[in-house]
Structure 1
Amino acid sequence: MTPPLALLPIVVAHAQEASVEAPVQSTGPMTLSTAIATALDRQPQLVAAAANKDASAQRLKQTKASYLPTVTPSYNFQNQYTFGKVQVFQGGGVITELPSGKTTTSRQEQVNLNYRLFDSGRRDLNARQAQQTLTASELSEANTRQTVIGNVADTYFNALRTDALVRVSEAQVERAQQIFEQIKFQANIVGVTPPKDILQAEADYLTAKVNLLQAQNNAEIAHLQLRNAMGLTGSGKFNLADVSPPSPTAPMTAQVDGVVSATKDSDAITKLVAFAQTKRPDTQQVEVNAAASQTAVKIAEISARPIVNIDLAAGYQFDAANDPTRQVGNNRALVANVTYPLFDGGATRSNIHAAEATQRSSVAQVQNQKQQVALEVEQAWRNLGQARVSIPATEAARAAANKNYEAASESLKLGAGSTVEVITAQTSLVQAEINYVQALYNFYTADARLTRALGQAERIGRTATK
């Protein structure tokens, strides 16, 4: 197959210069860039991805806090009343017990400082794993953004496709009605039209109306899917800006060095796949996850060895009652602690095996992801090339089918043609129009999917720059 060396970018007719960073208000037809901007502002998936990233960032701060000393001031106030009896000697050597109470008040201010000097490397590994998790969350957010843009493009062009198919069905109903009316007129005036021709024309007209109802329902659903992809609720159809037919000299939306100059599909696909496997955020994410799982193995292995903790502790007490600035006591200690899991029922060893299994799974996921990326890229590239060469062919077929229908319709008016011929020509014309619509929007859909497959979804909806 001849490689599509010059492919049309996704350019929406009547599109205005607009950023995709915020929803754009417009009184005219909604462009693809406006739909994408709305999705980036409203889509709950992005909110969830951002929240996950923030949570990972906070967990990283928690691990970094272990490198710093902890300072814990405390203040203790105690007011105690003690009640009892005392013996009192009275005259004559008489001892009498009398009730007695005593109030004691104490205050204590203290500052404790603790700092871990060494922990067998667990602190460093936990910090590394937290950083890897944060990086993976950032890549996940970037991938979610790419996915949202790709979904909007898919549903946008599908909505345009279904709108165009509604227009095809409307034209089909109009033509079928004209044929039906003409057959009835000839039957009433001339009286030579057999009843079966009238029934055939009526059946074709009623079938066309049913097809129109189905096409209208498909369009409503397609617009509902677009609304959902944009993160909007409610119902109703949008006024969408349509696309222009592809230009043979316009480039594809995605930009990868060396692809346009490639003379073979295989060379272009090789370059595209290599680019996607390096640049796509979801591929980078699974690679980071694999690195994080390797770190988890090291953390589990530390738990199976002797663990040494060395801590520096200090405490200072002050005289809160008389002079809060005067120290009344202090202590300092360097504490070394060594522990070894001599026997724990195999829990430590099982934890290591589980971490190793997770690590093997993450490595396999990297390979699976790269294979999936290669599949998506090649499919999108070939679909784009197929749609590109199909457009002129389907356009020519549509023109020929239209001429055939006009000729058959004119023959019927002159009494030289048959009802079957004109209905057959009408059916062929409808199919040719459907094929053209499918080829046109298949092109735009494939172009957007290739751009998304290459990790360049941000370019979708914008005019390509050379």
Structure 2
Amino acid sequence: MSKLFIYSICFVFLTINLNAKSLSLEELIEIALENNTNIQLSKNQKDVSEQRLRQSQASYLPYVTSSANTGEYDIKQSGVKQDGNATSVSVNANQLIYDFGKTTTAIKASKYNVEASQEDVTSIEKQIILAVKKAYFDILNRHQQIVVSKEAVKLDELQLSQAKEYFKAGIRTQIDITNAQLQLSNSNLKLIQANYDLKKAKTNLISILGKAISEDLKIQLDEEDIKLLAQNAELKYKNVEELIDIAIKNRAEMKKYESLIKANKESVKNANYQYLPTIDVSASYNEKDSDDISTLDSNQTAVLLNVKWDIFTGFSRDANKKIALSNLSSSYKQKEQQELAIIEAVTNAHLNTKQSFESIKISLLSLNLATKNLDLASQRYQAGLNDLLELNDAKLQYTQAKSNLVNTYYSHLVNNANLEYTLGLIK
């Protein structure tokens, strides 16, 4: 009971600590790698492969069995009846001497299957890292969208204040006040939506982390203005041919199929070796004792060299060989298909990074122009040279331009992460 209480307290304090501290991207990735369910499942499958390797290695070790029994006997022989109790004990041992490669190839195949399982774990881990990065950048995006929405609210509050002052001065009419109130209401609605979008983004991240953390989870945010962040955006990779070579070399999926091909080659050898004999040595000791029936008393020791050769097995060996060959062929085809998929993924990811990088430049230009346009529209409105419609259009264009820059910048970060994933370099 006391241990359960201590564990509960530790869990509570750990949860509070996670919620109180602003976690970095690296810390979030570490939490996900330790707790994500998909990673745990892949590690369980690797454990299964390791135990199958142990099973195949067990063939090199001796098999020892023993048995004992006691019972009552009733024997009739040549008209003479004997009855009484008897006990027996037996010990048997068997040791493989040589099986012409059956065990060796089975062990090698199991080792390669363990390697393939490890690459599966690595592949899942990299997928989770990518998912964490996407969720993290989505949260940063939502935070910046809240900043944009709050700025829009402030602009509309300022417009409403100006409209009221101009109305008092007799410069503007009541419709300007009503319109400004409507714009402020719409901006507040968008701010509410932005806040709930942030909560949804956090929920998505928590699901990926695989740990019970409340929605109050805090992460490290970008403190700089979105314009400065966008101006420092980089295009890391340029030559797509070199990227494809890097991906083929580094992707865990390719290494997995290379290991499976090796495993299936050993399985083909194993299927061929099934046509050959097996040589082993066996030893046994048997003792039976009865106080009532002397004819049952016996003591026997044997050491035998055995040669077993399956002459006909109902074509099962032929079937096993065909299965092994089919599995080998499938592994080659799967590797080829995986390579094509990687080439496509790398090419598309590279194009996406170039597109988002170029889009950042255009978005920065659009924001600068929208800022100037808003300043001019505000000055014209204050001077009575335009109506509220022109000012509202300028504000809308400004907030849309800033929101687009936020989306474009964080899309570029996601595209960079996706490219690193397709290259097998994400970490």
TM range (shorter): 0.7 to 0.9
The residue aligned with 2:5 is: none
Deviation at 1:365, TM superposition (A): 1.5
1:287 aligns with 2:248: no
The residue aligned with 1:215 is: 194
The residue aligned with 1:46 is: 39
Residues 405 and 321 (structure 1), Cα distance of their counterparts in 2 relative to 1, 3 Å cut: farther
Q: Write the distance in 2 (CA, Å) between the matches of 1:372 and 1:58.
A: 32
Deviation at 1:52, TM superposition (A): 1.6
CA-to-aligned-CA distance 1:339-360 (integer Å, 9 cap, x gap)? 234745xx65555444444333
The residue aligned with 2:70 is: 78
CA-to-aligned-CA distance 1:255-311 (integer Å, 9 cap, x gap)? xxxx6xxxxx4xx222221112111212211222233334444444555xx442323
| Candidates 146, 151, 154, aligned match of 1:174 | 154
Residues 25 and 321 (structure 1), Cα distance of their counterparts in 2 relative to 1, 3 Å cut: farther
State the identity as a percent.
23
- Aligned pairs (5 A) from 1:129-208: 129-183=109-163, 185-187=165-167, 189-190=169-170, 192-193=172-173, 195=175, 200-208=179-187
Q: Write the distance in 1 (CA, Å) between the matches of 2:156 and 2:19.
A: 38
Q: Write the distance in 1 (CA, Å) between the matches of 2:363 and 2:145.
A: 15
TM-score, length-normalised on structure 2?
0.80
CA-to-aligned-CA distance 1:58-116 (integer Å, 9 cap, x gap)? 110110111222233x25252548799xxxxxxxxxxxxxxx997545353x4322123
Q: Write the distance in 1 (CA, Å) between the matches of 2:326 and 2:31.
A: 42
Is the partner of 2:23 in helix, strand or coil?
A: coil
CA-to-aligned-CA distance 1:143-164 (integer Å, 9 cap, x gap)? 2222221211111011111111
- Aligned pairs (5 A) from 1:437-456: 437-456=406-425
RMSD: 3.4
- Paired AA for residue 116 in structure 2: A
1:312 aligns with 2:281: yes
Q: Is the 8 A contact 1:224 1:237 kept in 2?
A: no
- Aligned pairs (5 A) from 1:39-438: 39-72=32-65, 74-78=66-70, 80=72, 104-108=85-89, 110-183=90-163, 185-187=165-167, 189-190=169-170, 192-193=172-173, 195=175, 200-243=179-222, 245=229, 252=236, 265=238, 268-300=239-271, 306-317=275-286, 328-341=299-312, 343=314, 349=318, 351-438=320-407
Q: Is the 8 A contact 1:401 1:425 kept in 2?
A: yes
- Paired AA for residue 269 in structure 1: V
Q: Write the distance in 2 (CA, Å) between the matches of 1:405 and 1:112.
A: 95
- Paired AA for residue 352 in structure 2: N
Is the partner of 1:457 in helix, strand or coil?
A: coil
Is the partner of 1:336 in helix, strand or coil?
A: strand
Deviation at 1:180, TM superposition (A): 4.1
Return 5+ residue gaps in structure 1 as ranges: 1-23, 85-99, 253-258, 260-264, 459-466
Is the partner of 2:285 in helix, strand or coil?
A: strand
Q: Write the distance in 2 (CA, Å) between the matches of 1:215 and 1:294.
A: 56
Is the partner of 1:66 in helix, strand or coil?
A: helix
Deviation at 1:203, TM superposition (A): 4.2
Q: How many residues align?
A: 396
Residues 104 and 455 (structure 1), Cα distance of their counterparts in 2 relative to 1, 3 Å cut: same
- Paired AA for residue 131 in structure 2: N
Is the partner of 2:127 in helix, strand or coil?
A: helix
Q: Write the distance in 2 (CA, Å) between the matches of 1:101 and 1:364.
A: 72
Residues 53 and 166 (structure 1), Cα distance of their counterparts in 2 relative to 1, 3 Å cut: same
Residues 181 and 360 (structure 1), Cα distance of their counterparts in 2 relative to 1, 3 Å cut: farther
Q: Write the distance in 1 (CA, Å) between the matches of 2:379 and 2:162.
A: 11
Residues 171 and 246 (structure 1), Cα distance of their counterparts in 2 relative to 1, 3 Å cut: closer
Is the partner of 2:220 in helix, strand or coil?
A: coil
- Paired AA for residue 403 in structure 2: I
